[in-house]
Amino acid sequence: MIETVKRTLYAGLGAAVITKDAVDHALREWVEKGKITPDEARLFSDKLVHAGHSRWDETRDALAGRMEELLSAANVATRSRIESLEARVASLEKRLDADERDAGVGGA
């Protein structure tokens, strides 16, 4: 399943690269024909890049959330769950060490 997700993402990235090339080509043609200025073309290109990054971030976050849900439903340990458990164990170990020190001091 992970491999399928990776292939889908790579295909999307490939399409984005092809689309960017096509947009750049069209913008160059518009500049050459005098339909837009080079500054307008650059501004438009920058806006597209920014929108693409924003959309990518949204998609990545949504995919990560969905994968977390699927792994949780499949009862597979996730990184966040493991980190949470490790933090709880560390906290309990500190409390146990403190209790043992207190018992050693009071018992002497």
End-to-end Cα spacing for the chain:
60
Calculate the CA 27 to chain-centre distance. Answer: 30
Report the distance separating Cα 31 and Cα 35, nearest Å.
6
Dmax of the chain from CA atoms?
93
pLDDT (tens digit per residue) in 38-81: 999 888 888 887 887 788 888 888 888 888 888 778 877 778 88
Report the distance separating Cα 13 and Cα 32, nearest Å.
29
Report the distance separating Cα 65 and Cα 108, nearest Å.
53
| pTM listed for this prediction | 0.44
Which letter does DSSP use for residue 83 in this model? Answer: H
Q: What is the pLDDT of residue 1?
A: 60
Stretch 79-108: mean pLDDT, rounded? 87
Counting residues of the chain whose pLDDT is more than 70, the rounded percentage is: 84
Q: What is the pLDDT of residue 93?
A: 97
- Phi/psi at 29 (5° precision): -65, -45
